[in-house]
Structure 1
Amino acid sequence: MERRVEPPVSGRGAQGALVPTRFGLATREVDGDWRDHVEKLDGPPVKLRTTVTEEQPKTILTFNTSPDVPFDRSVNAYRGCEHGCVYCFARPTHAYHDLSPGLDFETKLFAKPDAARLLRETLAKPRYRPRPIAMGTNTDPYQPIERQYRITRQVLEVCLDAAHPVTITTKSDRVLDDLDLLSKLAERRLVAVSVSVTSLDPKLSGMLEPRAAAPAKRLAALGRLVEAGVPVHCSVSPIIPAITDQFMEEIVARAAAVGVRSAGWIPLRLPHEVAPLFREWLSVHFPERGDKVMAIVRAIRGGRDNDPDFFTRMKPSGVWADLFRARFVLACKRAGIGKERFELDCTRFHRPSIGGQMRLL
């Protein structure tokens, strides 16, 4: 029997709706003959559309005690991300809601319209103590639906009102929509922005991160932020061996050319369902290179697709990791870039007013 070869899923990162088995969810596989029969009756499958469900959570601030990240609290205005980055380590979070970390993650999104109100209420509590709030730690705060919902902007308005420090990680030039707020926050040492640049090839970017901003737009956004006086960091991540590492030096050089003075890199991580999704992506787009890519990934992760352990999961090891590290250090030295730890000011914080109530001074 001849094997049916499926065309790539256009405009999306994942190539299928992978159902996780670790939660015991039922799986289904459509028989090829039955699929042909359905297509004859109903026509070809309808193009995937993005849907957004509004959530009403009771809290919006999430705390963590991880030793591997430089923040202890975060706000995620959205669940799922339409950018569709095939390598996104946040994909498995959709599995907890009986949804696929594959196509569901990038097409079935959730928004939290009350995020700003919930944050304001939290900051107003007498026992609350300020430390920088991280945004973009799970899904991108400037993904396409932000243009409609403006939840990220509302959260920044609360931070500005309360003089509360905040950090942002994004791969979208949509961050410039809030340049007015970011400039005011920067004047008071209350914000730092990190923009991820994965490659310099728009075609490759379109396959890896189909609905994220093109690389040139991200670099331009970094330049605009620098001009506005906003502390910025260029994250060359993730480094995908034999796929994106070829761009490492030039990304650093171009970031320096627009005034960026801080840069870092993060190696590819493949937790849980991300590993099979990434393997499937390789089989579609780079079938001749897939084995080599995964061999290097396992080499820097102690022989596994992923290292989930605290203290080591963000620190690749081995010959390949040493090579990437040495290349990055040399690129930064040539470009005059370091890795800054932006010290934001927590001393200006004051509790915001609630329900129009005046704040007592």
Structure 2
Amino acid sequence: MSVSLPPRGRGTASNPHNRFAPTRSVAEDDGWYQEETPPSLATEVRREQARTVLTRNQSPDVGFDRSVNPYRGCEHGCIYCFARPSHAYWDLSPGIDFETRLIAKTNLASRLEEELSKPGYVPQPIALGINTDAYQPIEREYRLTRQALEICLRYRHPLHLITKSSLILRDLDLLGELASQRLVSVAFSLTTLDDELKRIMEPRTAAPSARLRAMRTLHENGVPVSVLCAPMIPMINDMELEHLLEAGRDAGARSAGYVLLRLPLEIAGLFEEWLQAHFPERAEHVMSLIRQSRGGRNYDSRFGARMRGEGVFAELLAKRFRLAIRRLGLDHRGEPPLDCSRFCPPGRQMALL
């Protein structure tokens, strides 16, 4: 099986049709010779005026009921990203389009203020950047995540952050102030300590050492941090689980989590292609273990099973995780819950406690 390697700095070489595409095109050799024109892989950013920025969910598998995502698509290019299929809703491919054709919600600040100021709004922690990384590279220019942090600080609204980027340290001033009022926590997604594996699996994310330095800096400045080993991929990075947890603990993490690889919709084909390109000798074994953990399929979307999987491999991974966090002292939450009682939109008198 011949598979093209992705361009350096990108997670995939493919751009499959999205599942909603009304037509499909297939390249055919018509016998006419011409120099092949390399595809453009420059990152394009489209500005969007969002009607709403606060997304609600009722999933029992996640610890939040609302989220804010400043960007659609993600330049980090993680091959396994569960958000890739969402690009189909904009008639774009979950493949290279997801990494190169991004959408920025440039009116995020005004919309977020409107929604938090509505009469009867009841605060609960917002997950900021849960679908795609709020600190992906274009945040340097657009600064939408920083705007959201400024609003949360002004409104005294609690939030959780998950990131793979050291760019988060740019906002240490805001995060430190939020943390002093018990309004923020930060989880770092750490999938490998191997720079080469990181390069091909998550090409435009921060190096593992940079993430750990950022985690340590936040911890030293009073910002509660945790480590999230997600995803764990059989025969690719699962053997690093204990080392990842230990590195996170040493960098200041007080708690930890993990997720077994998820392959919904178009991700399965992209991931299998990636395996054939980078790990052809073990691709079949990797997919066999995944299917054993997903009831014989590439993916099991059932609540309660989709994050952890089932079967021998999944149970062994769960046991290893439990033993490791107990040994490392990560089996407690450590920090008190975020404080929702401080919420007070500007101009409104704070309730007496």
Determine if the TM-score, normalized by the shorter chain, exceeds 0.5. Answer: yes
- The structural deviation recorded for 1:24 is 4.6
Superimposed CA distance per residue, residues 311-336 of structure 1 (whole angstroms, 9 cap, x where no aligned partner): 32223111101111121222223322
Between the aligned partners of 2:336 and 2:135, the Cα distance in structure 1 is: 21
Q: Tell me the equivalent position of 2:17.
A: 19
Determine the structure 2 residue equivalent to 1:28. 25
Q: Does 1:311 align with 2:304?
A: yes
- Normalised TM-score (structure 1): 0.92
Q: Deviations over 1:66-98 (max 9, x none)?
A: 121111111010000000000000000001111
Q: Which one of 45, 63, 66 corresponds to residue 59 of structure 2?
A: 66
Structural mapping, 1:40-59, within 5 Å: 40=35, 43-59=36-52
- The residue number in structure 1 matching 2:169 is 176
Counterpart among 61, 78, 85 of residue 78 in structure 2: 85
Distance 1:45-1:181 versus aligned 2 partners, 3 A rule: same
Mark the CA change 1:105 to 1:35 in structure 2 (over 3 Å): closer, same or farther: farther
Structure 1's 275 and 131: CA in aligned 2 closer, same or farther, altered over 3 A? Answer: same
Deviation at 1:235, TM superposition (A): 0.2
- 1:345 correspondence with 2:339: yes
Shift of 1:164: 0.4
* Percent of residue pairs bearing the same amino acid type: 51
Aligned residues of 1:19 and 1:25 also touching (Cα < 8 A):
no
Structure-2 residue corresponding to 1:252: 245
Aligned to 1:299: 292
- Structure 1: runs of 5 or more not aligned: 353-357
- Return the alpha-carbon distance in structure 1 between the equivalents of residues 32 and 239 of structure 2: 41
CA shift, 1:25, in A, is 2.9
**1:192 touches 1:342 (CA, 8 Å); kept in 2?**
no
**Quick one: structure 1 residues 37 and 298, their matched pair in 2 at CA, closer, same or farther if it must change by over 3 Å?**
same
Distance 2:289 2:31 in 1: 37
Alpha-carbon offset, residue 64 of structure 1: 1.2
2:175 is the counterpart of 1:205: no
Separation of aligned partners in 1, 2:217 and 2:61: 30
Match of 2:256 among 263, 272, 278: 263
Alignment-derived partner of residue 355 in structure 1: none
Asked whether the equivalents of residues 15 and 277 of structure 1 are also in contact (C-alpha less than 8 Å), the reply is no
Alpha carbons of 1:205 and 1:36: their partners in 2 closer, same or farther (altered >3 Å)?
farther
1: distance between equivalents of 2:50 and 2:17? 25
Q: CA RMSD in A?
A: 1.8
C-alpha distance 277-78 of structure 1, shift in aligned 2 (>3 A): same
Deviation at 1:112, TM superposition (A): 0.8
Question: How many pairs align?
Answer: 349
Q: Which of 157, 181, 190 is the aligned partner of 1:188? A: 181
Q: Deviation per CA, 1:115-150, whole angstroms, max 9, x where unpaired?
A: 111111111111211111111211000000000000
Deviation, structure 1 residue 7? 4.1
Query: What displacement does 1:10 show?
Result: 2.2
Change (3 A) 1:36 1:296: farther
Match of 1:254, SS? helix
Deviation (angstroms), 1:37: 2.8
Contact 1:231 1:342 in 2 (8 A): no
SS in 2 for 1:323: helix
Counterpart mapping for 1:270-281 below 5 A: 270-281=263-274
1:276 alignment partner AA: G
TM-score by length of 2: 0.94
Retained in 1: the 8 A contact 2:225–2:252?
Answer: no
- In 2, the alpha carbon distance for the partners of 1:89 and 1:79 equals 13
Q: Is the 8 A contact 1:15 1:280 kept in 2?
A: no
Q: Deviations over 1:207-259 (max 9, x none)?
A: 00010111111111111111011111100110000001121111111112222
> Which residue in the other structure is 2:214 paired with?
221
Aligned mates of 1:208, 1:329 — CA distance in 2: 26
How far apart, in 1, do the equivalents of 2:31 and 2:97 lie? 20
Partner amino acid, structure 2, of 1:82 = E
Deviates more, 1:114-123 or 1:340-349: 340-349
| SS of equivalent residue, structure 2 residue 33 | helix
Q: Could you tell me how far apart the structure 2 residues matched to 1:35 and 1:333 are?
A: 65
Which amino acid is the alignment partner of residue 293 of structure 1? V
Q: Secondary structure at the match of 2:330?
A: coil
Change in Cα spacing, 1:161 to 1:302, as seen in structure 2 (3 Å) is same
